[in-house]
A = this chain, B = another copy of it.
């Protein structure tokens, strides 16, 4: 298929929260304690909340920037592309990149909202989570409901309150909850406890997908403190196999047969090996470990419950039938460094050369629509006006380059170590 003819919904992008996001969502009593943006002495814009200071990392907002300027130093809003934090500019960037729909993970609260969960005052924390979700759903996604798949942040410290928030959001049309790869490593009971059952029941009742983003365990894939950062970048997606195995063998699919989980930014090419390994583990070991899937095998369980996600993964596209053609969704990863924006459609068309149109439509947008119960065509939008070619036509003249860093400011940050940064995942 020619890149222009693709229709693309991305199930994994990122937003950088704008400084004014809480303006209309802050209860009067928390006026001085809600998260706020400050500019520090180094010239970085940082979020400040209850004693914590969270910078926005350069690598998390590189869209449009030359690769030589990628890096992990903190940045300021006026140094990054406006599409990162301004929804109107974002939609223009989506048009220029040929992308119809997008689901946006959070930045400063960390993927599972653990920054808010770390707040000792749980009344404050709950109001912040709700305010974040209201802003995200009503303002960010609400500005362009046919362009954004809405997603909620969890109330991580209380499964009953988490369930309540999921039900509240579902009434607003939300069917995605960003969650952690491993609650145990965040200090909570594991996926093997019954602690989370109220939440699992709520996501099943409301057809909500647990969207588990790589890195959301709070643990980076680091082999040694002196390992080059390339090691971590290489390993991070496959690291989500830990979450896949942990959930696959847990009581959750057995007790909650409607549970659905997305392995966001996890890649797809390793999945066939993983499924074969899980099946072999079952065949060789279940008689002593006590696992029992009845007349099914682990790979059947996986295909029932898991969505896999890829940016540009020739191995996974080639093995799509071994993964399950209904279990694969494309993603853009804008504005992060793994994204090929604005050339992602060309990249996908090349990777998927020879793939039948029907398969490419499933991976490109239909699976995303079905898994997330989200229909951009519900209010009259047509597929013809939603192709890569049609969207780009609309965006003609939109500048896709991003201005360079101020070199002097950047040099102040040279040598910063990734382990020293505040939570980014």
Contacts and interface: CB of A to CB of B under 8 A. Distances in A.
Nearest to A221: B242
Copies held by the complex: 2
Interface stretch (A83-91, A92-100, A264-272): A264-272
Given A249-B227, A281-B230, A314 B276 contact: yes
Contacts of A255: none
A38 to B, nearest CB: 27
A48 interface: no
A284 B67 contact: yes
A217 B190 CA distance: 24
Contacts of A184: 223-225
A338 B242 CA distance: 20
Given A182-B224, A227-B192, A313-B276, A68 B288 contact: yes
Contacts of A270: 238, 269-270, 273-274
A413 interface: no
13 contacts: A67-B288, A68-B287, A68-B288, A190-B223, A190-B225, A190-B226, A190-B227, A193-B226, A229-B285, A238-B270, A238-B274, A269-B273, A270-B274
Interface residues of A, number: 64
A291 interface: yes
A221 to B, nearest CB: 7
A245 B249 contact: no
Interface in A165-210: 182, 184, 190-193
A285 B191 CA distance: 34
Contact of A267 (B237, B268, B277, B337): B277
A223 B273 contact: no
Interface of A: 67-71, 182, 184, 190-193, 221, 223-231, 233-235, 237-238, 241-243, 245-246, 248-250, 267-270, 272-274, 276-278, 280-282, 284-291, 312-316, 319, 322, 337-338
Nearest to A241: B238
Given A70-B284, A228-B289, 10 more contacts: A67-B284, A68-B287, A192-B228, A230-B281, A230-B289, A231-B249, A235-B242, A268-B273, A273-B315, A315-B322
